[in-house]
Amino acid sequence: MKLLIRAVRIIDPQSPFDGLVRDVLLENGLIRQIGEALPVDEDDSSIQRIEPAGLCLSPGWVDLRVSAKDPGYEHKEDLTTVCRAAMLGGFTDIAVLPNTKPVLDSKDTLGYVRQATQGQAVSVHPIAAITKRAEGQDFTDMIDLHHAGAVAFSDGEQPLTHPDLLLKTLQYLRPFNGLLMNRPEEQNLTHFGQMNEGLSSTLLGLKGMPAMAEEMMIERDLRLLEYLYPQSAGRPAETVLHFSTISTARSVELIRQAKQQGLPVSCDVAAHQLAFTDSDLMGFDTNLKVNPPFRLPADREALKQGLADGTIDAVVSDHNPQDDESKNIEFDHADFGIIGLETAFAVVRTHFPDWPLASLIEALTHRPRQILRLPAHTIDENQPATLTVFDPDVEWTYERTASRSKNSPFFGKTLRGKALWIINKGFVESL
């Protein structure tokens, strides 16, 4: 199969063609040629073409945090629909959380995910649980899970509460250069919490979730990381500890300082955190009930600054499908979560328009790949054709979803920027 992409602007900070408008010829899953006005037989019907003007091409986008719900909660999402939603959002690769039923804590459950998604255009990378059933008690066999294809280890939606558990996990992962992903939340401070603790929660009469619940756990985890990797002992170049979905200004500053000290740490932010603050919950819209919750305007600005200066490594969708029975109820009984795969790129482009496009692409491509230890992909000749074709400036209205669930606050909203094709594993999918 041959595919010719005509006059496309290449957006890839790692590519020698970055910023240039070129033709790109793909064949048998590889980038064969890159050049200006590549000569091809215009009558050759075996060559598929992408020719609309003004499009951009980047390496395939990678999402570090997706709740696929399958196995066990297929009424909310299954592996087929999550791949379709990922594809529509421009993602060629997604890392899926272990919080399924059964939990992804054995070779059998990891094998189920890998086998069920083999024929999909999107590559699905399972994150294995650190503890059995993600209950925070007994360890899983992490070495076996690593060999079975786990790209990282996390209890997913459940933070690692006990410091000894986190420290021992870092030690267990050390021999095979494994990655620990933790969602920072001191749950003893957030029991029954519904939204950010502050003026808005007081006015609404809802129990708040204080920012310090996140910040205390980040401080704790960084202290443990420094204990395990003191400056005198030398530190690994790759990330060892990754914080998922940070949300406060203090969190950004703590991680900024840790990076300046050379600690092997990284972090991400959910795209929707750039769009809302806690005052947007005044209408009790359960589609805005997320964890971590939307914080203050100053926190949102700090997140943008963290992205701008590279403190925050990646943007994630934090795709968390919830059915009507979990969302279309009273606010304090509704489940947390937003579906975000189809809108993540556009939400960032819409709500952070000043962020350079190349930096956004870096946060969706090379940095997530480095964090997960996935093979590096760049746009150059004889490189794998794992690509996303997109229009960074087109305006469109989000009206329908491929997900089984509909819990998004962005329905009916006009957004900027959209993926139009993904190319991966020999698939060429028009979106």
Torsion on CA atoms 412, 414, 420, 425, rounded to nearest 10: -60
CA 290 to chain centre: 15
User: What is the mean predicted confidence (pLDDT) over 340-347?
Assistant: 98
**Residue 76 structure tokens:** 């909310």
* pLDDT tens string 160-200: 999 999 999 999 999 999 999 999 999 999 999 999 999 99
* pLDDT tens string 225-250: 999 999 877 899 999 999 999 999 99
Q: Give catalytic residue positions.
A: 318
pLDDT score for 233:
78
Rounded to an integer, what distance in angstroms lies between the CA atom of residue 128 and that of residue 370? Answer: 18
218 lies in some domain: yes
Share of the chain above pLDDT 70, in %: 100
29 lies in some domain: no
* pLDDT tens string 197-228: 999 999 999 999 999 999 999 999 999 999 99
Q: Evaluate if residue 29 carries a pLDDT over 80.
A: yes
- Cis amide prior to 384 (ω within 30 degrees): no
Rounded to an integer, what distance in angstroms lies between the CA atom of residue 136 and that of residue 131? Answer: 5
Q: Cβ of 234: how many Cβ atoms within 10 Å? A: 8
Q: Smallest Cα–Cα separation from 371: which of 234, 270, 268? A: 268
The stretches of 280-356 forming alpha helices (DSSP H) are 297-308, 324-327, 344-351
382 lies in some domain: no
* pLDDT tens string 388-418: 999 999 999 999 999 999 999 999 999 999 9
Q: Are 96 and 150 in contact (CB under 8 A)?
A: no
Q: Smallest Cα–Cα separation from 246: which of 262, 226, 266, 232? A: 266
Supply the DSSP string of 374-430, one letter for each residue. Answer: PPP--SSTTSB--EEEEEEEEEEE----SSS----TTTT-EEEEEEEEEEETTEEEE
Share of the chain above pLDDT 90, in %: 96
Q: Evaluate if residue 366 carries a pLDDT over 90.
A: yes
Rounded to an integer, what distance in angstroms lies between the CA atom of residue 247 and that of residue 295? Answer: 7
pLDDT score for 43:
67
Residue 314, SS3 per DSSP: strand
Q: Cβ of 262: how many Cβ atoms within 10 Å? A: 12
Average pLDDT, whole number, for the chain?
97
Q: 414: exposed, middle or buried (C-beta count within 10 Å: 0-12, 13-18, 19+)?
A: exposed
pTM of the model: 0.97
414 lies in some domain: no
65 lies in some domain: yes
User: What is the mean predicted confidence (pLDDT) over 332-338?
Assistant: 98
Supply the DSSP string of 163-211, one letter for each residue. Answer: HHHHHHHHHHHGGGT--EEE----GGGTTT--EESSHHHHHHT--EE-H
378 lies in some domain: no
* pLDDT tens string 267-317: 999 999 999 999 999 999 999 999 999 999 999 999 999 999 999 999 999
410 lies in some domain: no
Interacting residues of 32 by C-beta distance below 8 A, sequence separation 6+? 25, 26, 381, 382
Q: What angle do CA 57, 415, 283 make, to 5 degrees?
A: 145
Q: Smallest Cα–Cα separation from 134: which of 105, 106, 168, 175? A: 105
Q: Are 321 and 67 in contact (CB under 8 A)?
A: yes
391 lies in some domain: no
Q: Are 94 and 86 in contact (CB under 8 A)?
A: yes
Here the CATH number for the domain that contains residue 90 is: 3.20.20.140
**Number of domains making up the chain:** 1
Which residue range(s) make up the domain with 189? 61-372
CA 381 to chain centre: 28
User: What is the mean predicted confidence (pLDDT) over 5-20?
Assistant: 97
Q: 152: exposed, middle or buried (C-beta count within 10 Å: 0-12, 13-18, 19+)?
A: buried
Rounded to an integer, what distance in angstroms lies between the CA atom of residue 187 and that of residue 300? Answer: 22
Torsion on CA atoms 16, 20, 21, 27, rounded to nearest 10: 10
**Residue 348 structure tokens:** 């960032």
Rounded to an integer, what distance in angstroms lies between the CA atom of residue 197 and that of residue 24? Answer: 51
